[in-house]
Amino acid sequence: MSDSDSENVQFFEGVEKLLEIWFASTDLDSKQCDLRKIPRHKLESLLKIVRCEIISFTRNEQVDAYVLSESSMFVSKRRFILKTCGTTTPLLCLKPLLLLAEQFAGYVDIENVFYSRKNFKRPELQMTPHQTFEQEVALLDTYFPDGAAYCLGPVNRDCWYLYTLNPPPMLVDSCTGTEPDQTLEILMTHLDPDIMALFSREECRSAAEATQKSGIDKLIPNMVIDDYLFDPCGYSMNGVSKTGCYMTIHITPEPEFSYVSFETNIAASSYRELISRVLDTFQPGNFVITVFANQNSVAVEAPREVQRLHSLGDWARRDIQHCRFKYYDLTCAFYTSQLSKLTQAPTTECTASNIHCYTTTDTCSCSNQHEGLSQNPCQSCKNDKNTLVNEVCVSNTSYCITHGTQCIRPASHEHELQNQLTLSQSQVNLPKCSSCQQSFEDIKPIRSRCYSNLTMSNSNSATSFNNGSTMRNSQLSRLFLCNLCVFSSTQAKLLFSWWRNKIS
């Protein structure tokens, strides 16, 4: 696709807003309460407030499943699930929904609420109250005084927001939460373009064809599938089982903002095989896994299982958080594909985006994409403390962080660093940054513990650092290209050759 074509692609926010409400009744006639008694035309009016509509419907004795113009809705006896993408406004339907639940279903009490979503790619395009999580929380708090809001994951990268009820112990009904419940959700980005092409009218003439060719029909057996293929591209499906379990998949295939979500509430003691099937089906670059399970679920150990999954095939975990609520355990984990970085075409510029890199106990987290890194784990730090300076990986600490052709080196530093780059006066005619054109000796380090803190030693066998640590030249030469990420590969090789001649 040309640059002009890419600019003409109309953006669509695939990330969904997921609202799940569990209703309860203390009346003796609670068996008569049922959300499925809400008339269809009332639900259609409700969805107009949300800015979407019903396009397909399937049901069994346990659940009514609706495919919407923007994702899905599931209605069972006392659980209501609304999952909508794009610029929809699901929280605006809360007040009329609660009224409908009381008027037609007989519910006056709410057992629990879950509102969650991944961070938006373009939040500025959302409508109030969904432009920020703070806006959403403020609205939710007006309905649920015992609500609590959480952000899992790094706030400056991919993260996942959650709002749920957290009542004081004295207000918790002993009968609440006795029904087994569990949910697995996988939110995927940077999908394989060839796989995403299946979900367009150019590649498949029908939703059934896309479902079969992609292998979606094999993810969970014995599901009655209701699928829809949008024109010119896009895909949604609901699957329901005889036991009332569901799965739902929604796909935004455009390569500029590709996104796939998978969600199911099937009960399983382990989700590892299912997770692997989903990943093999869609081949994402990055994904988030969330696993909920209450104490009565057969999946009660599933959240802890994810904690042990340091890697999943070609995907390495880079962050994980665990929460324990009144009745539910939750694990949220973030993974990145290592294979996609190793197989991409060589570049003449360093594409690393991290200012620095802290290694974890699991894998190298520096996410380097430099020329010279051809294996997994990272050949610079190898997650080995012997190649770390003060516990900080030096494989991605740079004088100037370059993104392609745009240099984002800070114009000034608020705090003068104690350790400045020490270079011999004889070091002249050094290459310049390929982006900002500043000479090597003029660029100051951004971090105090970066690779720039070295002072050349007269010894041929080792190099000394200002903090007192040393590194053998054989190690340093292996790290050298990786650290000079502000230079093009050609310029870095020239500097590397000059340095080797200097110490030899």
The pLDDT confidence band at residue 498, using thresholds 50, 70 and 90, is low
Q: Which amino acid is at 351?
A: T
- pLDDT for the residue 348: 31
Query: Mean pLDDT over residues 473-500, rounded?
Result: 39
Q: How far apart are the first and last CA of the chain?
A: 49
User: What residues contact 257, with CB distance under 8 A and at least 6 apart?
Assistant: 11, 12, 13, 14, 121
Whole-prediction pTM? 0.68
The identity of residue 75, as a single letter, is V
Is 50 exceeded by the pLDDT of residue 461? no
Residue 401 has pLDDT above 90, yes or no: no
Q: Provide, rounded to the nearest whole percent, the portion of the chain with pLDDT above 90.
A: 60
Per-residue pLDDT, 173: 52
Q: Report the percentage of the chain scoring pLDDT > 70.
A: 63
pLDDT band at 354 (very low <50, low <70, confident <90, very high): very low
Q: Which helix (H) or strand (E) holds 302?
A: helix 302-307
Residue 497 pLDDT = 53
Instruction: Average the pLDDT over each of 69-73, 102-106, 204-208, 391-395 and give the range with the smallest value.
Output: 391-395
Q: Work out the widest C-alpha separation in the chain, in whole angstroms.
A: 90
Q: What is the pLDDT of residue 380?
A: 39
Distance separating alpha carbons of residues 377 and 310, to the nearest angstrom: 13
User: How many H helices and E strands in the chain?
Assistant: 11, 24
Q: What pLDDT is stored for residue 177 in this prediction?
A: 52
Which tens digits make up the pLDDT trace of 324-342?
A: 998 899 999 999 998 754 4
pLDDT score for 417: 29
468-486 pLDDT per residue, tens: 434 333 333 323 333 333 3
Residue 182, token pair as written in the block = 């569990």
Q: Within a 13 Å sphere around the CA of 454, how many CA atoms are in the beta-carbon half?
A: 22
Task: Please state the rounded mean pLDDT for residues 149-171.
Answer: 87
Residue 376: CB atoms within 10 A of its CB come to: 15
When pLDDT is averaged across residues 267-278 and rounded to a whole number, the result is 97
Q: Residue 350: pLDDT above 70?
A: no
Q: Write the pLDDT tens digit of every residue in 206-259.
A: 999 999 999 999 999 999 999 999 999 999 999 999 999 999 999 999 999 999
Query: Is 60 exceeded by the pLDDT of residue 390?
Result: no
pLDDT-wise least confident of 149-158, 440-449, 495-504: 440-449
339, 313, 334: which is closest to 186 by C-alpha? 334
Under 8 Å between Cβ of 282 and 189: no
Task: Place 501 in a pLDDT band, splitting at 50, 70 and 90.
Answer: low
Across 338-469, the runs of DSSP E, i.e. the strands, are 388-389, 392-393, 402-403, 406-407, 454-455, 462-465
Distance CA 237, CA 249 (A): 5
Q: How does pLDDT run across 12-39, given as a tens digit for each residue?
A: 999 999 999 999 987 656 788 999 999 9
| Token pair for 353 | 């985006």
Upstream peptide bond of 154 is cis (omega within 30 degrees of 0): no
Tell me the C-alpha to C-alpha distance, in Å, between residue 238 and each of 63, 69, 292.
11, 13, 20
* Residue 115 contacts residue 162 (beta carbons within 8 Å): yes
- Is pLDDT of 203 > 50? yes
Across the chain, what does the average pLDDT equal? 75
Residue 349: pLDDT band (50, 70, 90) is very low
pLDDT at 29: 67
Q: How far, in Å, CA of 481 to CA of 493, rounded?
A: 7
Sign, Cα dihedral of 202, 206, 212, 214: positive
| pLDDT number for residue 427 | 36
Residues in the chain: 504
- Residues annotated as catalytic are 13, 16, 71, 85, 236, 250
Asked if pLDDT for residue 490 goes beyond 70, the answer is no
